[in-house]
Amino acid sequence: MSASVNVVAIDGPAGAGKSTIARELARVLHLPYLDTGAMYRGITCAALRAGVNPSDESDVAQLAVTTVLDISDDRLLVDGIDATADIRGEAVTRAVSSVAANSDVRRELRERQRTWVAERGGGVVEGRDIATVVFPDAKLKVFLTATPLVRAQRRVAQIGGDVEQIARDIAERDHKDSTRVDSPLRESENSIVVDTSNRTIGDVVDQIVGIFHG
pLDDT digits (tens, 9 = 90+) for 102-137: 999 999 999 999 999 999 999 999 988 888 889 999
SS3 183: coil
DSSP symbol at 73: S
Instruction: Report whether 47 contacts 99 (CB < 8 A).
Output: yes
* pTM (2 d.p.): 0.83
Mean pLDDT, residues 195-209 taken together: 94
How far, CA to CA in Å, does 55 sit from each of 49, 94, 171? 14, 11, 20
Task: Render pLDDT for 6-62 as a digit per residue (tens, 0 to 9).
Answer: 899 998 887 788 889 999 999 999 999 999 999 999 999 999 999 999 999 999 999
Chain centroid to CA 35: 5
